[in-house]
Amino acid sequence: MNAGKKILWMLIGVLVTLVLLCGICAPVALLGSVLQGLQATPQQISGPAVALVRLQGLIISGDPPVTPFLDSSEAAYSGYIVRQLKWAEENEAVKAVVLRIDSPGGSVVASHEIHQQIVAMNKPVVVSMGELAASGGYYVAAPADVIFANPDTLTGSIGVIAQFLDLSNLLADYGIVATTIKSGKFKDSGSAFRPMSDEEKAAWQIIIDEAFEGFVKVVADGRHLTIAEVKALADGRVYTGRQAKELRLVDELGNLPDALRKAGELGGITGEPKIIEYREPFNLFRQMLGMMRPSDPWTRILNALGRAQNPILQYLYIAP
C-alpha cells in the first residue's frame, strides 16, 4: 500500500471515529437539553404557603458535590442553603420560612453566609430545632423572628474552635523527617510535622477571640440580649431546649408542626398553611462531571490529609 492510500485510510478512520462519537454525544446532549428543560425549578404552588428549608449535618462552605453517589443531605452546604432562602424570598406564594436545623455547626465562614441571608430576608423566618442545633447551628438561628426547640434539643455551645494535629512523635517513630523551607516564622503555623510554639498558640488565640466576639454580638443582636448576658452563658457548653428557653436563647418549646403553624400566622395565612420544599435542579452534565472526578481510595486519603493540615475556624460542637 502506497503512502497516499495509507493517508486516505487514516482520514477515513478519523472521520468514522468522529461520526461514532457524534452519534453517542448527540443523544446525550439532546437528553441533557430535555432534562434541563424539565428540571425542577424552584417549586411553584398556588396560594399562600410556608417554605421549609432543611439545614442538616455539618455546615460547610460552597455547594454539594456533583455526584449521584454521595448523599449531600449529610452536610449543610452554605451555597445551597442560601439559594433555597433566596428562592423562598423571591416566590410570591411564600409568606414565611421555616428553617429546620439539625446540626452541630461547622465552618465560621459558611455559618456567616447563611446568617447574613437570614438577616436579609424580608419575610418572617421561624427556626425549628431538631436533635441538635449547636454552635454554628445556633449562630444561623439567632436572627430568626421566632425560635422553637424541642425540650430535649441540645443547643447553644456558643464558641469558636480550631484544631491542629501534631504527628511529629508518630513520624519520628518511623524515622520520617519533614523539612520545611519558609519565608517567615509563622508561615507553617499549625503544621502537623512539629509541635506549636507558645507564640503561635498566642497568635491563634487572638484569631479565636476575634471570631468569638463576632459570635457573641450575633447572639446579642438576634436575641435582644446584652453582650454581658451572652458572655455569661457562652462558655461553649450545650443547653437543653428547656434550659435555652429559660436563658432566652429560644422562644418556644415545640416541634416542626408548631413552627410551621407559627410561620403561617406570621405570614398572615389563615388555617393550616401549605408547605413548599425546594430541591436542587437535576443537571446531567454536572452529574457526569462529578462522576469523572478521581474517586480512588488513595486520592480520597490524600484529600482528607490535605484538609486536616489546613485548619479552619469553626463554630462547632464536638460531642464527647
Judged by average pLDDT, the poorest of 73-87, 144-158, 197-211, 225-239 is 73-87
Tell me the average pLDDT across 166-189.
89
CA distances to 8, 26, 83 from 259, rounded to whole Å, are 73, 49, 21
Residues 158, 212, 52: CA angle, nearest 5 degrees: 50
**For residues 49 and 68, what is the distance between their CA atoms, to the nearest angstrom?**
30
Domain assignment present for 8:
no
Is residue 262 a contact partner of residue 252, using CB atoms and an 8 Å limit? yes
Nearest to 88, CA basis, from 79, 101, 97, 76: 97
pLDDT at residue number 313: 80
Domain assignment present for 19:
no
More confident residue, 177 or 54: 54
Tell me the average pLDDT across 235-243.
97
Q: Which three cell numbers stand for residue 290?
A: 462529578
Nearest to 236, CA basis, from 156, 139, 154, 130: 156
Q: Give 190's DSSP letter.
A: T
Share of the chain above pLDDT 70, in %: 72
CA distances to 26, 50, 69, 131, 213 from 314, rounded to whole Å, are 46, 31, 27, 20, 14
pLDDT at residue number 6: 57
pLDDT at residue number 240: 97
Q: pLDDT per residue over 62-102, tens digit each?
A: 988 765 444 445 789 999 999 999 999 999 999 999 999 99
Judged by average pLDDT, the poorest of 50-59, 64-73, 98-107 is 64-73
Share of the chain above pLDDT 90, in %: 58
**For residues 136 and 134, what is the distance between their CA atoms, to the nearest angstrom?**
6
**For residues 216 and 135, what is the distance between their CA atoms, to the nearest angstrom?**
11
> What CATH number is given to the structural domain containing 254?
3.90.226.10
Domain assignment present for 6:
no
Domain assignment present for 31:
no
Give the chain's end-to-end CA distance (angstroms, integer).
Answer: 77
pLDDT-derived band at 278 (thresholds 50, 70, 90) equals: confident
Annotated catalytic residue within 72, 103, 128, 135? 135
Tell me the average pLDDT across 294-304.
48
pLDDT at residue number 26: 45
Catalytic residue list contains 61: no
- The count of structural domains within the chain is 1
pLDDT-derived band at 133 (thresholds 50, 70, 90) equals: very high
Is residue 85 a contact partner of residue 126, using CB atoms and an 8 Å limit? no
Give alpha helix (H) positions in 91-240. Answer: 108-120, 136-139, 168-173, 198-223, 227-233
CA distances to 16, 82, 89, 112 from 120, rounded to whole Å, are 57, 11, 10, 12
**For residues 121 and 96, what is the distance between their CA atoms, to the nearest angstrom?**
10
Q: Which three cell numbers stand for residue 72?
A: 449531600
Q: What is the DSSP string of 71-94?
A: -GGGEEEHHHHHHHHHHHHH-TTE
- For residue 117, give every residue at least 6 positions away whose Cβ sits within 8 Å of its Cβ, in sequence order, or none: 81, 82, 85, 86
- For residue 41, give every residue at least 6 positions away whose Cβ sits within 8 Å of its Cβ, in sequence order, or none: 281
**For residues 320 and 318, what is the distance between their CA atoms, to the nearest angstrom?**
6
Residue 120 pLDDT more than 90? yes
Catalytic residue list contains 135: yes
| Strand-strand pairing, 125-134 and 146-149 | parallel
Annotated catalytic residue within 6, 182, 185, 187? 187
More confident residue, 278 or 70: 278
CA distances to 22, 34, 40, 125 from 28, rounded to whole Å, are 10, 10, 19, 42
pLDDT at residue number 316: 80
Residue 235 pLDDT more than 90? yes
Q: Which domain holds residue 180?
A: 43-316
Judged by average pLDDT, the poorest of 32-41, 92-101, 225-234 is 32-41
Compute the mean pLDDT over every residue in the chain, rounded to the nearest whole number.
82
pLDDT-derived band at 170 (thresholds 50, 70, 90) equals: confident
As a residue count, the chain comes to 320
